Each structure stands twice: as structure tokens, then as C-alpha cells.
Amino acid sequence: QVQLVESGGGLVQPGGSLRLSCAASGRTFSNYAMGWFRQAPGKKRDFVAAINWNGGSTYYADSVKGRFAISRDNAKNTVVLQMNSLKPEDTAVYYCAAPRAMGVISYDSTREYAFWGQGTQVTVSS
């Protein structure tokens, strides 16, 4: 059973930074892509960023491109989302996600991901 545990959320002022981490267990982490999604109250869950199995390819939503960076450490079974220049519209619950299969076609689709963490709240407010 794949388990994903996020950490690092919190309250930050506009323009600030946060670093989210996701610890994975239950299968060979390095064989699979990983993704981050977010969901604001009353809205659907949206793609934020994804990374392929070895970290050689990364993908971002247009809204976070240039501000957020996704990375992974396969030796530690972790994936990190570094968030800089945060804006109030980044406020949401952030979820780490792992796909069912090794071959991901649409990194930005929730349908590709079978396993989800419990989520961590990020609030950007002055």
C-alpha cells in the first residue's frame, strides 16, 4: 500500500516562501513520477507541478511557473515543492500524488494519480 505524507504547510505573507515535502512509502519510489495538486475551498483540485521518475523532467501549471520548483530525492523517497513569491491566490490545501502506473501520459490530470496524501494547508495572507 502506497502511503504519502505531506509536511511544511502554514501561514505566510504575500511574497514569502514555503517548502512542502512529501514522504512516500510502500513501493519502489524511484520507478514512478510524482505530482503536486492543490484545492481551494469550493473549487476543483488543480495541477501544480509534476516530476518524472529520475527528476530529469518537470512540469508546471502556468500559474506557478517561475515561482515554484519541484524536486525529488530518490535515496530518501521524498519529493519537495519549493514555493517562492507566494500570492494570496496560492492559498489552498496542497496534495502530494503518486500515479498507479510507471508510464504517465498526462502529468496534469488527476486521473493519472491513484494515491494521495492527506493534504497540507497553505495560507498566504497579510
3-state helix/strand/coil string of 5-63: EEECCEEECCCCCEEEEEEEECCCHHHCCEEEEEECCCCCCEEEEEECCCCCCEEECCC
Checking DSSP bridges between strand 10-12 and strand 120-124, what pairing results, if any?
parallel
Average pLDDT, 10 consecutive residues per value, the chain (126 residues): 95 98 92 96 96 95 98 97 98 96 89 96 97
Cβ atoms of 72 and 55 closer than 8 Å: yes
What's the pLDDT score for residue 103? Answer: 83
